[in-house]
């Protein structure tokens, strides 16, 4: 949370899903229509309440509603979903995907992440901290492994990238989002792969990184160096 004096003359906007709940008072004060009694701050006569770890600080009025802030983007995907549907049928496959989605959302909530979108066979999430994103990915893989899916076996792949995506109407856009999606698609079965940027930001946080070389990903002119994060306990 920024120091109180740094908020003067700024608009504090909760994460994109709540942008339309924020308003500018017009005189250098700020109002955010959120509820968090343990995190209430006052500027002049206006109380500012922030309960979102992804809160964005925007400049004075006049800029578009689209907001940008540094985040780590996660994409998850069910490995072999097409063959899975063929082997177990539509209903069982649907129930499995819903179960995996609930598990992923629970892990995001535990680690301070935000579920941005359901991608069909997976989930897109965002985190203010690369450390939390990696911890969530590891926890998610372990939780799914602990479920004991055997017939058929179930695996997910997870890709992580960091950057400053644009946020608008609860959605995220930009190169970091595209990169995380491409990494997820290129990722090994049942693995977690991250960019060199995510690795560098998380150095010294207790994670292990195994270099997987450079990959040429669709939409990116230069090869991207990737690292795997082992997750088995």
Q: Report the greatest alpha carbon distance in the chain.
A: 63
pLDDT tens digit string along 185-228? 999 899 999 999 999 999 999 999 999 999 989 889 899 999 99
71-228 CATH pick, 3.40.50.880, 3.40.50.2020, 3.30.70.1230, 2.60.40.1120: 3.30.70.1230
Domain boundaries along the sequence of the chain: 4-62, 71-228
**Strands across the sheet with 67-68, in order?**
67-68, 166-168, 171-173
pTM across the whole model: 0.69
What's the mean pLDDT when you consider all of the chain?
75
Helix (H) or strand (E) holding 163: strand 156-163
The residue to which tokens 């004060």 are assigned = 29
Higher pLDDT, 119 or 130: 130
């Amino acid at each position: 949370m920024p120091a109180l004096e740094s908020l003067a003359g700024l608009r504090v906007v909760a994460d994109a899903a709540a942008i339309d709940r924020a308003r500018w008072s017009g005189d250098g004060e700020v109002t955010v229509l959120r509820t968090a009694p343990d995190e209430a701050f006052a500027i002049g006569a206006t109380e500012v309440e922030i309960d979102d770890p992804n809160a964005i600080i925007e400049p004075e009025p006049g800029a578009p509603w689209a907001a940008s802030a540094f985040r780590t983007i996660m994409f998850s995907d069910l490995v072999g979903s097409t063959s899975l549907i063929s082997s177990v049928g539509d209903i069982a496959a649907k129930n499995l995907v819903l179960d995996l989605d609930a598990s992923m959302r629970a892990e995001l909530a535990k680690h301070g992440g935000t579920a941005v979108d359901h991608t069909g066979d997976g989930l897109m999430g965002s985190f203010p901290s690369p450390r939390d994103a990696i911890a969530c990915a590891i926890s998610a893989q372990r939780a799914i492994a602990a479920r004991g899916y055997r017939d058929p076996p179930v695996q997910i792949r997870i890709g992580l990238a960091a950057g400053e995506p644009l946020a608008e109407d609860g959605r995220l856009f930009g190169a970091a989002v595209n990169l995380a999606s491409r990494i997820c698609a290129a990722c090994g079965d049942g693995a977690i792969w991250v960019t060199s940027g995510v690795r560098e930001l998380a150095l010294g946080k207790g994670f292990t990184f195994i270099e997987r070389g450079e990959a040429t990903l669709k939409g990116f002119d230069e090869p991207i160096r990737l690292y795997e994060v082992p997750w088995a306990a």
